[in-house]
Amino acid sequence: MPAKMNSGSESGHPAALTPAQTLADRDLRVVWHPCTQMKDHETLPPIAIRRGHGAWLEDFDGKRYLDAVSSWWVNLFGHANPRIAAALQDQAETLEHVIFAGFTHEPAVRLAERLVSITPPGLSRCFFADNGSAAVEVALKMSFHYWRNKGETRKTRFIALANGYHGETLGALAVGDVDLYKSLYDPLLMDVITAPSPDCYHRESGESWQDYSLRQFAHMERLLAAHAHEVAAVIVEPLVQCAGGMRMYHPVYLTRLREACSRHGVHLIADEIAVGFGRTGTMFACEQANISPDFLCLSKGLTGGFLPLSVVLTNDDVYAAFYGEYTALTAFLHSHSYTGNPLACRAALATLDIFADENTIRGNAAKAQYLGRRAQELAEHAHVAEVRQCGMIVAVEIAKNKGSREPYPWQERRGMRIYRHALALGVLLRPIGNVVYFMPPYVVDEAEMDLMVDAAAQGIELATCD
Ligand code: PMP
């Protein structure tokens, strides 16, 4: 049943619904929201947002929420960013969409040129899709298909990391390892080889991130040695396993992985859908390991959070393996209706212009330092097990027992308490289980970062007091 939004006034007459309540009420009659137990809305109806500006969202009652999670990590330069909006308006009046097979257009060509020029060396080809999961499917299929085209028919499997996340479609889900999203669907999923994660939350006390990541790499090396003959690719989220709780590891793991994949004749797929476009402190996380993957998946921040778009970049060697006579049937026949959508490509170009004109990566360094310093204050709390940071991603992990890191049982939904409390304070935090994190738009200022951290501190206090 839809949540009852209007319980009536004390006089017996129904109280008038505010515009926000009216919209939420209508929503609950017809909409089914993602990643949500809809019954939760009986006590907390969806918040109807009227407009956004900078790092802020505003509801129909005029209440404002600081978007500390960039609306699922997509927004880079603020809501309703005027520069991106203007580019979109111009494009909408020129060409909104055109079939991308047999036809092309300037925004897609310019975007592909720009992406090739700013991504790690060797990535020379862009294949567009329209969301992150679709990009992962493209990369997996392309890798498998490459080996087929080369006559290597035994390479049909993938190696992925424990605690990884790559999306919700069946292929992407199969190479992910977050139980909450995956385990129910196991009977539908391909069989993947899972390597232990380099996630440094599990390092021994006194052990460095580098040493732990290197130690964990030994497992990957063994799996590659044993399975390379049947493995098409290894897929990883470089540096931060985001949906897995903002778990982080050292770039040395990626450096070693690149070298081992090349040595064993296995592709490396870097899923930078969440960490690309400056989130880890460099434009792309792979830069910190000085590596080029065989496939680079990008989405989310690609359009500054305006429109769905994704892209898989690959190299000349992969491209060449598909190039031939039609009748040889080596072509990559994957397609989506909205592939290379001109509006989305224009939004992406405007986003890249902002990066270049405002020297965002440099400017972010000071913001990251400030946010990290403020968040570090939470480390003293009796139920904060760790405060960790990678560039503009800062995470605070709460635990039942700080010393042993015994987690709170998930059924207690402590993160949900923090979410609700922060909302009341006008901050949109969306903890992942026991992990509160900040991944704000890059337009955030120090006062806003203070507000985020203070709301988290209060929320954590409240959620861990029993
Ligand atoms: N890969 C990673 C690393 C992600 O974080 C996500 C989304 N959270 C995806 C893939 C899937 O992207 P989408 O939600 O656009 O399908």
**Residue 132 CB–ligand 1 contact under 6 Å:** yes
Q: Which of 291, 324, 358 is the last residue of a domain?
A: 358
CA of 329 to the centre of ligand 1 (A): 31
Is residue 14 a part of any domain in this protein? no
Contact call for residues 388 and 439 (beta carbons, < 8 A): no
Q: Going by CA atoms, what residue is nearest to atom 1 of ligand 1?
A: 166
Output the CA–CA distances (angstroms, integers) from residue 315 to 2, 286, 296, 330, in the order listed: 50, 15, 10, 17
235 and 319 in a single domain? The answer is yes
User: What was the pLDDT predicted at 15?
Assistant: 73
**Residue 279 CB–ligand 1 contact under 6 Å:** no
Q: Which of 358, 373, 403 is the last residue of a domain?
A: 358
60 and 110 in a single domain? The answer is no
User: What was the pLDDT predicted at 151?
Assistant: 97
306 and 368 in a single domain? The answer is no
Is residue 400 a part of any domain in this protein? yes
320 and 372 in a single domain? The answer is no
326 and 379 in a single domain? The answer is no
DSSP conformation class of 223: H
107 and 242 in a single domain? The answer is yes
**Residue 171 CB–ligand 1 contact under 6 Å:** no
**Residue 271 CB–ligand 1 contact under 6 Å:** yes
386 and 409 in a single domain? The answer is yes
Query: Measuring CA to CA, which residue among 108, 128, 125, 127 is closest to residue 116?
Result: 125
The phi, psi pair for 392, rounded to 5°, reads -90, 20
Task: For the chain, 466 residues long, give each residue's pLDDT as a single digit of tens.
Answer: 444 434 444 455 667 888 888 899 999 999 999 999 999 999 999 999 999 999 999 999 999 999 999 999 999 999 999 999 999 999 999 999 999 999 999 999 999 999 999 999 999 999 999 999 999 999 999 999 999 999 999 999 999 999 999 999 999 999 999 999 999 999 999 999 999 999 999 999 999 999 999 999 999 999 999 999 999 999 999 999 999 999 999 999 999 999 999 999 999 999 999 999 999 999 999 999 999 999 999 999 999 999 999 999 999 999 999 999 999 999 999 999 999 999 999 999 999 999 999 999 999 999 999 999 999 999 999 999 999 999 999 999 999 999 999 999 999 999 999 999 999 999 999 999 999 999 999 999 999 999 999 999 999 999 999 9
**Residue 136 CB–ligand 1 contact under 6 Å:** yes
236 and 205 in a single domain? The answer is yes
DSSP SS3 for 136: helix
CA of 131 to the centre of ligand 1 (A): 8
The whole-model pTM stands at 0.96
CA of 359 to the centre of ligand 1 (A): 26
CA of 403 to the centre of ligand 1 (A): 33
98 and 208 in a single domain? The answer is yes
CA of 170 to the centre of ligand 1 (A): 13
Domain that holds residue 421: 47-80+360-463
Domain count, the chain: 2
Which of 161, 300, 302 to probe ligand 1 with, by most ligand atoms within 8 A of CB? 300
Q: Which of 358, 378, 411 is the last residue of a domain?
A: 358
User: What was the pLDDT predicted at 381?
Assistant: 98
- Beta-strand relationship, 295-298 and 267-271: parallel
Rounded Cα gap, residues 70 and 85, in angstroms: 17
331 and 392 in a single domain? The answer is no
CA of 132 to the centre of ligand 1 (A): 5
Contact call for residues 170 and 188 (beta carbons, < 8 A): yes
| Angle at which helices 342-358 and 82-92 cross, to 10° | 150
| Angle at which helices 360-376 and 446-463 cross, to 10° | 30
User: What was the pLDDT predicted at 21?
Assistant: 85
CB neighbour list of residue 87: distance below 8 Å, 6 or more residues apart = 346, 347, 349, 350
350 and 365 in a single domain? The answer is no
Which of 273, 275, 311 to probe ligand 1 with, by most ligand atoms within 8 A of CB? 273
Which of 299, 307, 311, 432 to probe ligand 1 with, by most ligand atoms within 8 A of CB? 299
CATH no. for residue 137? 3.40.640.10
CA of 83 to the centre of ligand 1 (A): 25
CA of 274 to the centre of ligand 1 (A): 6
Q: Which atom of ligand 1 is nearest to the CA of 310?
A: 15
User: What was the pLDDT predicted at 6?
Assistant: 42
- For 447-465, how does the pLDDT look when each residue is reduced to its tens digit (9 = 90+)? 999 999 999 999 999 999 9
Which of 130, 140, 165 to probe ligand 1 with, by most ligand atoms within 8 A of CB? 165
**Residue 56 CB–ligand 1 contact under 6 Å:** no
The phi, psi pair for 15, rounded to 5°, reads -70, 145
Contact call for residues 261 and 227 (beta carbons, < 8 A): no
CATH no. for residue 60? 3.90.1150.10
**Residue 165 CB–ligand 1 contact under 6 Å:** yes
The phi, psi pair for 239, rounded to 5°, reads 70, -40
Output the CA–CA distances (angstroms, integers) from residue 205 to 211, 253, 386, 395, 405, in the order listed: 12, 19, 12, 19, 11
Helices (H), 192-326: 209-227, 252-264, 316-322
**Residue 167 CB–ligand 1 contact under 6 Å:** yes
Q: Which atom of ligand 1 is nearest to the CA of 167?
A: 11
Question: What H or E segment, with its residue span, contains residue 363?
Answer: helix 360-376
User: What was the pLDDT predicted at 12?
Assistant: 54
Rounded Cα gap, residues 131 and 111, in angstroms: 16
